């Protein structure tokens, strides 16, 4: 972006560009050239001053490079042209993709992709379904949760839900969703456990640490090195399908444009 601004600052014209801020050789930087900068009124002078210093330093180096007789300007110009062409083509493709891309993905498509790519969904760690709570030590009626978090009765989850909304600092329960056990450890400070045994036993624990009660109930698990469930991978698969559509659409757009140019007689090869 800085190079583009320098180029515009170097061009002549009758447009009023505001106060002159700096000049290096024939290149000028005006107030209008820094209008894109985001700053508050309090730090405006510092932000503008820092930008001016950067512009001056870069302009000095560019001038020095342009005047160096050993500089291969032809090679640089070719690279600039290639870069410009790549940007133009990429922008054209992106505009066409945005107009043509279908982002709706059916459950049937997701299920077929999942069935066809089982090797892509091998677990490197345990997935678990859990209930966990983090509750301040001064919360009332804590023994009520000490019994209910084990979910031995149908009404226990309703008891926990009501209590958690009133007192819990953190609460998670979704019997249809899976999370990585290691992600759970970021929320709950479990120490000195044998992870394999802890998960396979579907442990239920309560402990205190750093001013909080923690309650954890491992409801179910998926073994590491097994296949990740489709419910966990659904959004991932949807993103993969859309990315594949983008790749194919990009290739189709490119090929169609080239084909049309040949068919319309716009290409002559000698």
Domain-wise residue ranges, the chain: 2-71, 72-115+231-270, 123-222
Residue 176: pLDDT band with limits 50, 70, 90: confident
Position with higher pLDDT, 265 vs 42: 265
pTM over the 0.75 mark: no
Evaluated on CA atoms 124, 126, 127, 133, the torsion sign reads negative
The confidence score (pLDDT) of residue 9 equals 44
Residues in the chain: 270
pLDDT tens column, 53-82: 999 999 999 999 999 989 898 999 999 999
Question: What's the average model confidence in pLDDT over 21-30?
Answer: 93
The confidence score (pLDDT) of residue 156 equals 94
pLDDT at 169 over 80: yes
Long-range contacts of 219-223 (CB under 8 A, 24+ apart): 219/128, 219/129, 219/130, 219/131, 219/151, 219/175, 220/128, 220/129, 221/126, 221/127, 221/128, 221/129, 221/181, 222/123, 222/126, 222/127, 222/128, 222/178, 223/123, 223/126
CB distance 192 to 199 below 8 Å? no
Q: CA gyration radius for the chain?
A: 31
| CATH match of 123-222 with 1.10.540 | no
Q: How many CB atoms lie within 10 A of CB 92?
A: 13
Residues of the chain with pLDDT > 70, as a percent, come to 93
Q: How many CB atoms lie within 10 A of CB 111?
A: 13
């Amino acid at each position: 972006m800085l190079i583009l601004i320098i180029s515009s600052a170097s061009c002549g014209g009758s447009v009023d560009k505001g106060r002159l801020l700096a000049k290096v050789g024939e290149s000028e930087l005006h107030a209008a050239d820094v209008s894109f900068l985001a700053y508050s009124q309090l730090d405006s002078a510092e932000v503008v001053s820092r930008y001016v210093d950067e512009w001056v330093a870069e302009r000095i180096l560019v001038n020095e490079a342009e005047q160096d007789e050993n500089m291969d300007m032809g090679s640089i110009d070719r690279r600039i042209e290639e870069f410009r062409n790549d940007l133009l083509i990429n922008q054209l493709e992106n505009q066409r993709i945005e107009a043509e891309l279908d982002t709706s993905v059916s459950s049937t498509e997701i299920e077929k992709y999942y069935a066809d790519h089982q090797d892509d969904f091998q677990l490197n760690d345990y997935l678990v379904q859990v209930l966990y709570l983090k509750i301040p030590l001064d919360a009332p009626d804590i023994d009520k949760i000490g019994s209910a978090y084990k979910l031995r009765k149908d009404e226990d989850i309703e008891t926990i839900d009501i209590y958690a909304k009133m007192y819990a600092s953190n609460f998670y329960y979704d019997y249809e969703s899976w999370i990585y056990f290691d992600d759970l450890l970021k929320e709950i400070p479990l120490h000195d456990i044998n992870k394999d045994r802890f998960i396979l036993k579907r442990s239920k624990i309560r402990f205190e640490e750093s001013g909080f009660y923690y309650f954890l109930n491992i409801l179910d698990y998926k073994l590491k090195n097994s296949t990740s469930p489709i419910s966990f991978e659904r959004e991932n698969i949807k993103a993969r399908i859309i990315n594949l559509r983008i790749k194919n659409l990009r290739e189709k757009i490119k090929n169609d444009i080239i084909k049309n140019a040949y068919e319309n007689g716009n290409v002559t090869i000698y």
